[in-house]
């Protein structure tokens, strides 16, 4: 079996709408390394888009899934025959999620499902329908997810009309001259021109925008959101799907702030590669939907629940929040060293190991997506997998597993340095 043969079969059998970055096919993976069907090895700085924070096939995650397979069951549908592991994981998340009020958690399958259900819960709890989202935000590929997402190409292209009463406001981008005050003023403008705040159920934001370019929300912006929500009876939803589970140096990114969200979505690294997502929030809000209003056939699958328990154990046992800070500092130091040789490198940003590098044309200051793509391609030739993001496609984001060894991390950084300077 060759990559070329599989590529031809893929093109014949699957639609072009499922965009695929690499032209090689995975055969196996271990921690931060991946091998294709022809035996080529790659250092993985993508982690399945921030899913493998504890690495590929962490032994404790594998053992937990195998134990559930061998000694338990694969599926009962939690809504038909429930199981203790679901309840126990909800109890753990309720204890771990930031916030002082009593909480409840519901589990789903994908990040988009978590977002959809967070909006449902907010509408049921408030009796309102409007939602404020933000430019550059990404919340999934379902119809509601696309409506909330603040980027047209490729996510919204050709798919409208979208659900009504979704409004977008600016998100703070220091590099591009959008301050926290500007962004808050943008919400005020929405209230003046688009929707009465008394009709808004929720505001949904990413504490660090993922697909949007790894812009971290300034503390004064998050405080301003909280104040506006409190003033108008609006719920604040923090989308932690990409930021959660130690990636930013905290278990959840909202722990970097001194205010609380009412609801939080989670997915990606929650279950170490198994499909699992969830919504955690104030107990009174979570109880707003009627019985049967939340759920799904595969929601809270027992194999994924078992994996999530193991992931939470690994994060504590291996101190991955501190490891995220250490690895992120190492990456930023390496990028700082090459800055004088790479005039296109405009900014390195992001908390913990949620780090990104943004590239611009040094002559004009315009975004330079072509340079970012060249760096990505050069790195891939040398065996390093990198991801591009940002509204302009000019940002490289780094999402290596937090369990990566020092040797493999240094190897990846050496390849990155070569790709940047050549």
Which of 42, 45, 107, 138 is catalytic? The answer is 138
- Number of CB atoms found within 10 A of residue 317's CB: 9
Per-residue DSSP letters for 141-187?
Answer: SSHHHHHH-S--TTTTTT-----SSEEEE---BGGGTB-HHHHHHHH
Which of 108, 268, 368, 371 is catalytic? The answer is 268
Per-residue DSSP letters for 78-124?
Answer: TTTS--HHHHHHHHHHHHHSS-SS-EEEEEESSHHHHHHHHHHHHHH
Pairing of strands 235-239, 200-205: parallel
Do 289 and 279 contact (CB within 8 A), yes or no? no
Cis omega (within 30 of 0) for bond into 15: no
Is 23 among the residues known to form the active site?
A: no
Is 268 among the residues known to form the active site?
A: yes
The two tokens of residue 353 are 């190991």
The two tokens of residue 170 are 């600016």
**Residue pointed to by tokens 């965009």:** 19
Compute the chain's Rg from CA coordinates. Answer: 21
CA distance 352 to 356: 11
User: How many whole angstroms from its chain centre is CA 156?
Assistant: 19
Which of 36, 44, 135, 239 is catalytic? The answer is 239
Contacts of 285 (CB under 8 A, 6+ apart): 121, 122, 125, 235, 262, 263
The two tokens of residue 109 are 């399958």
178, β-bridge pairs: 173
Backbone phi and psi for residue 222, each to the nearest 5 degrees, phi listed first:
-65, -40
Do 266 and 278 contact (CB within 8 A), yes or no? yes
Among all residues, which ones are annotated catalytic? 138, 239, 268
């Amino acid at each position: 079996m060759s990559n070329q043969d599989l590529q031809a079969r893929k093109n014949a059998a699957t639609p072009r709408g499922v965009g695929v970055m690499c032209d090689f096919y995975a055969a196996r993976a271990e921690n931060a390394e991946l091998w294709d069907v022809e035996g080529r090895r790659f250092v993985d700085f993508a982690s399945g888009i921030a899913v493998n924070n504890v690495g590929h096939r962490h032994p404790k995650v594998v053992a937990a899934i195998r134990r559930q397979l061998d000694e338990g069951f694969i599926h009962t549908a939690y809504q038909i025959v429930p199981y203790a592991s679901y309840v126990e994981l909800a109890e753990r998340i309720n204890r771990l999620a930031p916030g002082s009020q009593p909480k409840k958690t519901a589990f789903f399958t994908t990040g988009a499902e978590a977002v959809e259900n967070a909006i449902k819960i907010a509408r049921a709890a408030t009796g309102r329908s409007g939602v404020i989202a933000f430019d550059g935000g990404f919340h999934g590929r379902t119809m509601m997810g696309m409506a909330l997402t603040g980027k047209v190409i490729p996510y919204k292209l050709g798919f409208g009309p979208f659900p009504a009463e979704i409004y977008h406001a600016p998100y703070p981008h220091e590099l591009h001259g959008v301050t926290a005050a500007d962004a808050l003023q943008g919400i005020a403008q929405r209230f003046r021109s688009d929707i009465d705040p008394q009709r808004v159920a929720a505001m949904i934001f990413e504490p660090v925008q993922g697909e949007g370019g790894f812009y971290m929300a300034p503390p004064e912006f998050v405080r301003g959101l909280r104040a506006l929500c409190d003033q108008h009876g609006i719920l604040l939803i923090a989308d932690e799907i990409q930021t959660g589970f130690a990636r930013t140096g905290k278990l959840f990114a909202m722990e970097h702030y001194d205010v609380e969200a009412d609801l939080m979505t989670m997915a990606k690294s929650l279950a170490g590669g198994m499909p699992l997502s969830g919504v955690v929030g104030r107990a009174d809000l979570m109880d707003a939907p009627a019985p049967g209003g939340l759920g799904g056939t595969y929601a809270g699958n027992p194999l994924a629940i078992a994996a999530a328990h193991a992931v939470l154990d690994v994060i504590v046992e291996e101190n991955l929040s501190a490891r995220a800070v250490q690895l992120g500092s190492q990456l930023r130091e390496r990028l700082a060293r090459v800055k004088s040789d790479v005039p296109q490198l405009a900014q390195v940003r992001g908390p913990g190991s949620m780090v990104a590098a943004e590239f611009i044309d040094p002559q004009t200051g315009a975004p330079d997506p072509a340079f970012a793509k060249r760096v990505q391609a050069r790195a891939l030739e040398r065996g390093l997998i990198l991801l591009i993001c940002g509204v302009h496609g000019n940002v490289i984001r780094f999402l290596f597993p937090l369990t990566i060894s020092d040797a493999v991390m240094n190897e990846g950084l050496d390849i990155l340095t070569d790709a940047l300077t050549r």
